[in-house]
Structure 1
Amino acid sequence: MEAIHTHRNNHKANSMARKIPNVFWLLILVFSCIILIGNTKASDGDAREAYIVYMGDLPKGDFSSPSLHTSMLQQVLGSNAPESLLYSYKKSFNGFVAMLTEEEKLRIAGMDGVVSVFSNERKQLHTTRSWDFIGFSQQVQRATIESDIVIGVFDTGIWPESDSFKDEGFGPPPSKWKGICQTASNFTCNNKIIGARFYRTDGLFKEDDLRSPRDTNGHGTHCASTAAGGLVAMASLYGFGKGTARGGVPGARIAVYKICWSDGCHDADILAAFDDAIADGVDIVSFSVGGTSINTFEPHNMYPMIYAGNAPNTTGNFTGLSSRFCSRNSLDANLVRGKIVLCDSLTNGRPPLVAGAAGVVMQDTSFQDYAFSFPLPATHVGVNDGSSISEYVNLTSNPTATIFKSYEANETLAPFVASFSSRGPNRITKDVLKPDLTAPGVDILAAWSLVSPVTRVKEDRRRVPYNIISGTSMSCPHASAVAAYIKSFNPSWSPAAIKSAMMTTAFPLSVATSPEAEFAYGAGHINPLKAVNPGLVYDSESIDYIKFLCGQGYSTKSLQLVSGDNSTCSGVINGTVWDLNLPSFALSTMSLKSFSQTFKRTITNVGLPSSTYKATVTAPQALKINVEPSVLTFTSLGQKLSFVVKVEGTIGRTVVSASLVWDDGTHRVRSPIVVYASS
């Protein structure tokens, strides 16, 4: 099945953005897909836990961060300070990780120079027809410097022996590369995987953890090969998705930063990896962590069928009310062994497998556009089909069934945003549109770790070199690869310019298949070939964000902590959120109340030296949109021209969509305009 495409935007990620330097977030804005979940906070107020102390940007000049951080801790902990300090960030920002009680955390938070103190939260992990689907064939033009681009993959590590990471034809790493290869557990790098590190700041490795950059999960290998894997012919998962597996930038190098373990991915390790990646010379960071079915088994026989609610494990004090959901240990093995079990919810298939079932049918209202993989013959059906199956099982004296192997088909409605993808709006800064854009994310075939089961269920004995999985994590390396592709042709472009190119060249999706409109798909579906030559870009510099922060009410002290210099809001024309130079326009308002809002933007010519662009606005009757000037004439590359967009009207519906296109006859530079009724 062709991939249904998805990109998640999780709201809690925005709260973390307030804790980390805004300029730092600008650097990784396009490439990170982060969902924050979980908390390791101890219930005992006197117990120590790892806290991250953020102190803004690095000071200018000579600076010894470990000495400063130890000194600060000594003021609170005395002689215990050195053993409390777990990590001192030296390259990306000023901050450290320390074991603190709640009281000690509060004392540290009150010190001069401390912006915020937050818990070391734990994230969870959330690939090849997708490139052809988005018009990015094997024959696309490649830049000569693609092999100088280094993609840093923050994930579960990598399986270096995979055919996707062979280094035939690669020369030595680019001269800018300063990283290392931690070669524990027989792990070696090559001229494709040029660097590898692993992190566990708290030192609390679990039994299943391999202290090495080697991937024992599969997720990191999958993401790395999606972004930059080489060409591998006849790759498939038991015949599904058979074809040439390849990454978006197969000529790029890979640097591995293993920050995820059997119990998740911790903030302190993630930030340490960023610290190293910046110093190592990474160009793009691919960060794929966060907070219907494929049956690969061939049918053999017809099997008896039983309803899970009629097979409770009574010795374990389970009743039919719980066993019907096929929860852990809830099934009586004597009753389900050798039978196909009908369950009333979606599980990973492990409980029926452990109980000896021959197969499982799961009826559920959840994700019907997500192809799960299970460790035994299985199928996932909706409630209507489930009701019919349930009626058959309960009203037939000897019900039997078989589960056929899945088959491939094209989803004619694709691309659309998957049901499980998170939606906007942005709850922190309401007038910044999120998500930015969409990328392939469902049923993606890519490389896999040979020590990780197909389904990640330990009782599943099957091992495969390529696997099919879905999620935001699969969207992220697609976006990372496209960003790297753009940078290989435009090495001097800023992250903001690359993001703009990706957004303004995306092709719009249909509200018919994604009714949440831009709050589901942002600017649209990623289009790599057009993104490399967008014509115009909406660029941003540090001063733009300083003006924005001043407009948001930052004090001089807070501003300097973030900027790391002597920036001040005095004498600076405060910027509003509507003037931040983004390639999208968003306005929150009240339903049935008239509004009028002006947006200021500046665009940079990266297309033809002499060109004239005309503005075209597409909008519903509820909106009156005026662009001034409506014609922009450029006379040189790199020239910047400004314009103003005025949006007026009254809306009754929740979301009203419009768009602005700058067209010179060759390039169409499109920006979404969204007005919505905010609660």
Structure 2
Amino acid sequence: MLKPHTTKSWDFIGFPQNVKRSTVESDIIVGVIDYGIWPESESFSDKGFGPPPAKWKGTCQVSADFKCNNKIIGAKYYRINMTFGETDLKSPRDSNGHGTHTASTIAGGVVSKASYAGFGTGTARGGVPSARIAVYKVCWSDGCDGASILAAFDDAIADGADIISLSLGQSPQDYFTSPISIGSFHAVKNGILTSAAAGNEGPRLANISSYEPWSLSVAASTINRRFLSKFRLGNNQIYEGIGINYMDLKNKSFPLINGASNCEPNLVDKKLVKGKIVYCENMSDIGQELVSAGAAGLIQKVQVLLEDVYGSSALPASYIDVHAASKVFNYLNSDSVSKQPTATIFRSYELNNKLAPYIPSFSSRGPNPITPNILKPDLAAPGVHILAAWTPDPHKGVKFLKFNIISGTSMSCPHATAAAAYIKSIHPTWSPAAIKSALMTTANPMRSSLNPEAEFAYGSGLINPLKAPYPGLVYDIDAIDYAKVLCGEGYDSNIVEQISGSEDFKCSKANSLAVADLNYPSFALSISLSETFSRVYRRTLTNVSSPKSTYKAKVVAPKGLEIIVEPSVLSFTSIGQKQSFTVKLTGKIDEFKASASLVWDDGTYQVKSPILVYVSII
């Protein structure tokens, strides 16, 4: 079982609504493997759309409560054991909200005056609003099983999807026991890039959940939006926490109680908490239980106050730091409180997050747990406080809201998916690796001062969809090269043959490729403590922009790391021409990691690659 990683963002990364569009954007089909979709959402209106592209071979599982249109051109659901929970709907319809949110972030149409109960009011839109959506529902109330994910990959490939988006997570495991690794390999072998969420297990290192060299691993980044939630105690003292409260208690005070054991899952006493604001000191997520029990609100102490973690709440809530929590605790236990302690929670308000962009604490970090010399994540995209379409389910405590603001790498993944689809619409013949390279080498640099884990947090940087279709040069990779790397890493020949899908392919010396020689757009080197290292990387660049151009290598490296690029000048005379070079890393580092970079610059295009040398922690 896997789990999900729970529109200002497009403007924030410099991708405005009136960006230049390709006439074939409506022929791009994005396969969304998730919780399904809410087809009646305005974001999925097919007004102005023609019939599905001729290449589409998929179907729609029509039921009493579900049908497709010319926007949602296909929809299927998968349930291996055919058992369903109370909230599960036996159709491609999304009862969770997660699938609807991700799909609309990718390809939702333009919806004016969208908001989450007045928050984030503006125009909601996907990155490629004219693209088509194919839905593959593999997730249910108990998670997302691997067999369903593999079946969905099979169908998305056969149906004609151009890009696959996967906002689901897994614990690090061998490539051949991971449904995401296997499915995404089959996709890339068929010319389809898989964009996958990096995971929400940060900030500790080496817990990234999408680590395959052939998929695009997407970390989450903040945007310039933050929400604060104030509350007032019965002694008229006002304190400030974080959270997104759409409800307004109209300045009315409610009894305030110390929840104690009622703050533990499955231990809430409905009679005790009904009509009261509950103060909790544990970290359990019991918001929905308190809603069901009729509580008036929640004030919750958190050890580290992280605005990027706490978002929209099912009831009025304020998440507070240790200092404010001590004031609440003292008030609850004060002798001066002669009657029932009271409190009120105010409607939240939005502020500008001036530090953005940076990587939030929850976003999973590298290094790559399976192939340490492939840098992961690949890049970052907006994943905090993202407004997108939602399932209007009254059981969620957010009654009939058509949009929601939530955070997670599940939200960053569809931003990268849309950017990949945008490139695909402009360059239909580009390979998955070329699209991925374009996204990585044009990404905007991020500040290591705000992200101590540096490339382990953000990879190549923050996506720049406007620039990505015009990278100058790309690092292209044949799908079979990934199989050759697996051979070089010592994987069993029979298994590699199975995943390569070719009976003619056998692991041999000729069919092996060192990781350092995989034509990846980034460079990583895992070393031992105090090791003096010397490593050579071989790369090839393909010209995709100006027919005649000359690129010069520019290297930035810290003390202790020497980088030699040969040749240091590459000249091209035609589109599609390839030129090879080597990068030699030598030295000895005193710190845990050393960050460097290589930029190929012709005066118009800058093709940027991160270089990271680090001491192995695995």
| TM-score normalised by length of structure 1 | 0.77
2:526 matched to which residue of 1? 588
Root-mean-square deviation (CA), in Å? 1.8
Instruction: Check conservation: 1:308, 1:331, Cα contact below 8 A.
Output: no
2:411 matched to which residue of 1? 474
Shift of 1:214: 1.3
> How many residues of Structure 1 are paired with residues of Structure 2 in the alignment?
540
Shift of 1:559: 3.6
Asked if 1:212 corresponds to 2:87, the answer is: no
1:51-66 paired onto structure 2 within 5 Å: none
Asked if 1:423 corresponds to 2:351, the answer is: no
2:275 matched to which residue of 1? 338
2:353 matched to which residue of 1? 411
2:323 matched to which residue of 1? 384
Q: 2:428 aligns with which of 473, 487, 491?
A: 491
Structure 2, gaps ≥5 residues long? 171-241
Instruction: Check conservation: 2:265, 2:286, Cα contact below 8 A.
Output: no
1:527-566 paired onto structure 2 within 5 Å: 527-563=464-500, 564-566=502-504
Q: 1:514 aligns with which of 423, 433, 451?
A: 451
Instruction: Check conservation: 1:127, 1:222, Cα contact below 8 A.
Output: no
1:368 matched to which residue of 2? 307
Q: 1:262 aligns with which of 141, 160, 165?
A: 141
Which is further off, 546-555 or 439-448?
546-555
Question: Secondary structure of 2:440's partner?
Answer: helix
1:138-183 per-residue CA deviation (whole Å, 9 max, x = no partner) reads: 1110011100000011111111111111111111111100111111
How far, CA to CA, are the matches of 1:574 and 1:327 in structure 2?
51
Instruction: Check conservation: 1:658, 1:673, Cα contact below 8 A.
Output: yes
Asked if 1:605 corresponds to 2:543, the answer is: yes
How far, CA to CA, are the matches of 2:254 and 2:78 in structure 1?
49
Shift of 1:570: 4.0
1:558-612 per-residue CA deviation (whole Å, 9 max, x = no partner) reads: 4433322312344616321111110000001122221111111011000101000
Q: 1:221 aligns with which of 88, 92, 100?
A: 100
> 1:557 and 1:327, CA in 2 relative to 1: closer, same or farther beyond 3 A?
closer
Shift of 1:304: 4.8
How far, CA to CA, are the matches of 1:444 and 1:275 in structure 2?
30
Structure 1 counterpart of 2:436, one-letter code: K
Shift of 1:508: 1.2
1:54 matched to which residue of 2? none
How far, CA to CA, are the matches of 2:150 and 2:575 in structure 1?
37
How far, CA to CA, are the matches of 2:386 and 2:268 in structure 1?
33
Asked if 1:578 corresponds to 2:516, the answer is: yes
Shift of 1:449: 1.4
1:624 matched to which residue of 2? 562
1:399-429 per-residue CA deviation (whole Å, 9 max, x = no partner) reads: 4322111111111111111111111101211
How far, CA to CA, are the matches of 1:255 and 1:283 in structure 2?
10
Q: 2:166 aligns with which of 266, 278, 287?
A: 287
1:46 matched to which residue of 2? none
> 1:546 and 1:189, CA in 2 relative to 1: closer, same or farther beyond 3 A?
closer
Shift of 1:557: 3.4
1:503 matched to which residue of 2? 440
Structure 2 counterpart of 1:219, one-letter code: H
Structure 1, gaps ≥5 residues long? 1-121, 310-319
Q: 1:666 aligns with which of 579, 596, 604?
A: 604
> 1:363 and 1:571, CA in 2 relative to 1: closer, same or farther beyond 3 A?
closer
How far, CA to CA, are the matches of 1:548 and 1:331 in structure 2?
57
Identity of aligned residues (%): 58
Structure 2 counterpart of 1:141, one-letter code: K
Question: Secondary structure of 2:430's partner?
Answer: coil
How far, CA to CA, are the matches of 2:446 and 2:428 in structure 1?
30
How far, CA to CA, are the matches of 2:293 and 2:71 in structure 1?
44
How far, CA to CA, are the matches of 2:19 and 2:254 in structure 1?
53
> 1:656 and 1:233, CA in 2 relative to 1: closer, same or farther beyond 3 A?
same
Asked if 1:299 corresponds to 2:236, the answer is: no
1:462 matched to which residue of 2? 399
Q: 1:180 aligns with which of 52, 59, 69?
A: 59
How far, CA to CA, are the matches of 2:286 and 2:111 in structure 1?
29
Question: Secondary structure of 2:350's partner?
Answer: coil
Question: Secondary structure of 2:70's partner?
Answer: coil
Shift of 1:518: 0.4
1:257-312 per-residue CA deviation (whole Å, 9 max, x = no partner) reads: 11111221111111111111111101111111225411111132342553425xxx
Structure 1 counterpart of 2:258, one-letter code: A
How far, CA to CA, are the matches of 1:477 and 1:607 in structure 2?
27
> 1:663 and 1:214, CA in 2 relative to 1: closer, same or farther beyond 3 A?
same
| TM-score normalised by length of structure 2 | 0.84
> 1:419 and 1:570, CA in 2 relative to 1: closer, same or farther beyond 3 A?
closer
Question: Secondary structure of 2:114's partner?
Answer: strand
Which is further off, 300-309 or 193-202?
300-309
1:638-662 per-residue CA deviation (whole Å, 9 max, x = no partner) reads: 0110000011111121111000000
Asked if 1:447 corresponds to 2:386, the answer is: no
Question: Secondary structure of 1:402's partner?
Answer: strand
How far, CA to CA, are the matches of 1:461 and 1:411 in structure 2?
25
Instruction: Check conservation: 1:326, 1:352, Cα contact below 8 A.
Output: no
How far, CA to CA, are the matches of 1:238 and 1:461 in structure 2?
9
Shift of 1:126: 1.9
Asked if 1:393 corresponds to 2:343, the answer is: no
Shift of 1:556: 4.2
How far, CA to CA, are the matches of 1:261 and 1:554 in structure 2?
34
Instruction: Check conservation: 2:566, 2:582, Cα contact below 8 A.
Output: yes
Q: 2:344 aligns with which of 386, 389, 402?
A: 402
2:595 matched to which residue of 1? 657
Question: Secondary structure of 1:528's partner?
Answer: coil
1:98-149 per-residue CA deviation (whole Å, 9 max, x = no partner) reads: xxxxxxxxxxxxxxxxxxxxxxxx1122291000000000111001110000
1:108 matched to which residue of 2? none
1:37-436 paired onto structure 2 within 5 Å: 122-126=1-5, 128-291=7-170, 292-308=242-258, 320=260, 322-323=261-262, 325-331=263-269, 333-334=271-272, 336-346=273-283, 347-365=285-303, 367-395=306-334, 396-397=336-337, 398=339, 399-436=341-378
1:634 matched to which residue of 2? 572
Question: Secondary structure of 2:466's partner?
Answer: helix
How far, CA to CA, are the matches of 1:404 and 1:664 in structure 2?
55
Shift of 1:633: 0.2
Instruction: Check conservation: 1:152, 1:284, Cα contact below 8 A.
Output: yes
Structure 1 counterpart of 2:450, one-letter code: T
Q: Report runs of 4+ in structure 1 exceeding 6 Å deviation.
A: none
Structure 2 counterpart of 1:130, one-letter code: S
1:523 matched to which residue of 2? 460
